[in-house]
Structures are given as C-alpha cells and as structure tokens.
Structure 1
Amino acid sequence: MNKLTVKDIYMNYHSLKGYTEALKDISFSVKEGEFLSIVGPSGCGKSTLLNIIAGLIKPSSGEIYVDNKKLESVSSKMGYMFQRDQLFEWSSVWNNITLGIRIQHKSISSYRDNLMALLKNYGLIDFINYYPDELSGGMRQKVALIRTLALNPEILLLDEPFSALDYQTRLNISDEIYKILKKEGKTVIMVTHDIAEAISMSNRVLVLSNRPAKLKTIFNIKFSQSYDSPLESREDSEFRIYFNNVWKELNYNDR
C-alpha cells in the first residue's frame, strides 16, 4: 500500500525579473515502511521538494497524498529532521525532546513512557539532564531524532541529517539512526548528497535532474542478502555497481 503519493508537482518562483522553474512534473509513490532517498545536483530543488511534501510550501501545481487523502496543510503524520539538529542550547535533553509536545499543548505525561523507552534504548537515558553543548555531534543528532519521534509520526522526512558531522561520526550515526528507524517501523524519505549513504540505507534511490528538476530515474536497491546495517551493505558486491550507475545518472544530467 502507498503511504505517500507525489503527483504532478511543479514549482515556479516568481520575481520582478520573471520566474524560475524549480521542479517540473514530479510524480512518485512511497510504500508504507519504505526508505526512499532523493539525490540530485546541488541546487536542483531536493529540499524544496521535501518542504512541499511536508506541507511547508505550496507547489505551483500538483498534489500530495498521505494514506490516499490529499494533503491540505502540515500533517501530524509527518516528522521533519533538518540538516542541523536545531537543539536549544539553553534547554536540557528532556526539554528539547518534549518541545513539540509542549508547542501542541499536549500532556507530556501521556508520552513520558515512550520517550523514556526511546532514551533508554538509544543510549541517552543517562544524559537526560545534560545540555546540548555537553553532547557529541552524534548524540545531538540522536536527541534531534527522538524529538522528531516524540509525537509518533508515521512518515519521517530527513533533509541531509548527517551533513554537519565529520565523516567517521557520520558513518556511525547514520548506521545507528537507520537501525532506530527500522525498529520503529517508520516510512522515510531522505534528501542527501551522499550517494553511498543513499544506496546503503535505502530501498529505492530517486535521482533528480538539474534545475528545473525532473524525475530522471529510480533505482531499486536489492543486495545479494539482507543486512541489518548500512555499513555491512557497503561490502556487498552489488554496492559498487549501484554506486556507479547512480553516479553516471548524476554526471550526465543534461543528456
């Protein structure tokens, strides 16, 4: 069953000098529990597309459907994790992860057991009263993820969630967060510039062209065996073939 459908999306930006086409006739669907990554040249409109899916931007034309219902505004079924962790430095881990609950004027007590379980399962329970500047980059990202999971969204939108981390930390935290998302059974759409990251984490990789971004191709990622870890999947004999094929699509976007 399709959890989310993107149908005939166009996005144009208007100014005094005219208008710029950002997205052109983009359509695809995401199945429930699927991990889809979106890659494309810098500035092609990947984040714009993610913001449209989130309901934060209204497209020039086209529609988004969640569970076969047209999206009219921001949906409570979606959670958004940004490039940077966006943690409030003056607030504790607990206050950061409960921010969305408090903004929506909901009772924290009804979410407490789930949040405590998330903190315990993912190694942060001993840091509940710490402040962000006392945490490593990887730990900060896990706090940001738990904050995103706090309201139990069904679809997670990830916009370059590991780009601010150094390479080693990026590999480790992407591995950990992948396992968290799979365990929680979430449907995920991730924007990334990292081809290896996209291939190792995803069921499918969607490739966009140069601006105006069009859907160029979608790669179905199927390794020779099932892996519990993106780091392990990078050792698969098919990994290099997928990498080269995605790279070629990106490298010849104007053809």
Structure 2
Amino acid sequence: MNMLELKNIYMNYHSKLGETRALENINIKVEKGEFISIVGPSGCGKSTLLNIISGLQKPSQGEVFIENVKVSGHCDKLGYMFQNDNLFQWLNVWQNVALGLRISHNLNKENMEKLDVLLKNYGLWDFRNHKPSELSGGMRQRVALIRTLAMEPEVLLLDEPFSALDYQTRLNVSNEIYKIIKHEGKTAVMVTHDISEAISTSSKVVILSSRPAKIKKIIDISFENKYSTPLSRREAPEFRLYFNSIWKELEFDDRE
C-alpha cells in the first residue's frame, strides 16, 4: 500500500526577473513503513520538495496523496523534523516533547502516559527534567524526534536532521533515530547531502538532477538481514557499489 504518493509535481518561482523552474514532473511512491532518501546537487530543490509534501508550500502543478487521499495544506498524518532541533532552552525535556500536544490542546492523561513511555523506551526518562543545554547533540535530536512522534504522524519528513552534528555523533545518532523510526513503524522521507547516510538508512534512494530538478534515477537498496542497522550496513560489501552508482549520477550531473 502506498502511504505517500507525489504525482506530476512542478514548482515554478516568479519574480521581476522572470520565471525560475525549481521542480519538474516529480513522481514518487512510498510504501507504508518504507524509509527513502532524496539526494541531489546543492540548490536543486530537495527541501522545497519536502515543504510541498508537508503542505508548507503549494506546488505550481501536481498533487500529493497520503493513503490515497489528496493533501492540501496541513495534514495531521505528517510530521516534520528540521535541520536544527529547535528545542526551547527554557523548557526541560518533558516540557519540550509535550509542547506540540499542549499547543493542540491534546495534553490529556493518556497522551502524557504515552510521552512517558517514549522517554523511557528511548533512554531519556532520567533526563526528563534537564534543559536542552545540559544534553549532548545526539540526545537533543532524540528529544526533537520524540516531540514529533508525540503527535502520532504516519509519515516523518526529515530535512538533513543530522547535519549540525560532528561526524562521529552523526553516525551514532542516525543509527539511533533509524531504530526508533523502524520500531515505531513510521514511514520516512529524508533529504540529505550525505550519500553514505542515504544508503545506510534507506530502502530506496531518489536522485534528483540540478535545477530544474527532475528524477534522474531511483535506486533500490537491499542488504542481507545481518546488516540490519545503518552502522552495520556501512560494512556490507554492496555498500561501495551503491555509493559509486549514486556518486556517478551526481558527478555526471555536475558536468552537464
């Protein structure tokens, strides 16, 4: 079953200097529980595509469907995780993860208990009274993800969620976030510049061309069961083959 489908998405920007074509005829299908990544040259419109999926931007042409229902504007089934964790420094961990529920007037006893379970399941219960400044970068990202999960979205949109972290932390955090998303049974679409990150987390990598961005290629990613986490997949023999295949597509695009 398709959880998410993009049909014939076009995006054009208009200014006094004329029209700029950003996206051209984007068609993507994402199955329930699938984790896909979108890669492409800088400035090609990857984040714009996420904004269109989320309803933050309206495409010039085309449609977005969640579970075969057309999406127009905000959709409760979508959760957005940005590049920065955007935690409020004057609130503690529990208050930060509860913020979305409080704003939407859904902070009832049942949902408060669910938050407690999430914090306990993912190693943050002992830090529930800590402020963000007292947490590591990886822990802050987990808090941001749990805040998003608290709203019970079906699809998570991840806009380079690990880019602000140093390399070693980034590896560990992407591994942790992947496990949480899989354990919660969510569908995920991630934008990243990091080819290795895309391969290690995804079942499918969508490669966009330079602007106006079109889909150059969609590569299916598959590993043996023993390579079940992002960290272990980096050690798999197929990893380098996938990397070279995606790199060649991006390198060729830079020369065009």
Query: What is the TM-score of this pair, normalised by structure 1?
Result: 0.98
Separation in 2 of the partners of 1:31 and 1:226?
A: 23
Deviation string 1:105-140 (CA, Å, 9 cap, x unpaired) is 113322112111110111100111111101110000
Query: Partner residue of 2:215?
Result: 215
Structure 2 letter corresponding to 1:84 = N
| Long gaps (5+) in structure 1 | none
Matching residue of 1:133: 133
Partner of 2:205: 205
Which stretch of the first structure deviates more once superposed, 202-211 or 108-117? 108-117
The whole-number CA distance in structure 1 between the counterparts of 2:78 and 2:135 is 27
The correspondence of residues 1-255 of structure 1 with structure 2, limited to 5 A, is 1-253=1-253, 255=256
Deviation at 1:57, TM superposition (A): 0.4
Alpha-carbon distance in structure 1 between the residues aligned to 2:11 and 2:213: 9
Give the letter for the 1:189 counterpart: V
Pairwise CA distance, 1:95? 1.1
Identify unmatched segments of 5+ residues in structure 2.
none
- Relative to structure 1, the CA distance from residue 203 to residue 30 in structure 2 (aligned partners, 3 Å threshold; closer, same or farther) is same
| Aligned mates of 1:226, 1:242 — CA distance in 2 | 18
Q: Aligned partners of 2:55, 2:79: CA distance in 1, in Å?
A: 11
Q: How far apart in 1 are the matches of 2:107 and 2:223?
A: 44
1:98 and 1:108 in contact (8 A); partners too: no
Deviation at 1:20, TM superposition (A): 0.6
CA RMSD, Structure 1 to Structure 2 (Å)? 1.0
SS in structure 2 of the partner of residue 178 of structure 1: helix
> Per-residue displacement from partner, 1:181-220 (whole Å, max 9, x unpaired)?
1100000000000000000000000000000100110000
Q: Is the 8 A contact 2:98 2:107 kept in 1?
A: no
**Number of aligned positions between the proteins:** 255
CA separation in 2, counterparts of 1:224 and 1:248? 24
Identity of aligned residues (%): 62
Higher deviation after alignment, 104-113 or 133-142: 104-113
Q: Hey, what's the Cα distance between the residues in 2 that align with 1:226 and 1:29?
A: 27
With over 3 angstroms needed to count, the CA separation of the structure-2 counterparts of 1:197 and 1:184, relative to structure 1, is same
Contact 1:99 1:147 in 2 (8 A): yes
Please state how far the C-alpha of 1:74 moved relative to its aligned partner. Answer: 1.0
Q: Which runs of 4+ in 1 moved over 3 A?
A: none
* CA gap 1:164/1:135 in 2 versus in 1, 3 angstroms: same
Asked whether the equivalents of residues 82 and 158 of structure 2 are also in contact (C-alpha less than 8 Å), the reply is yes
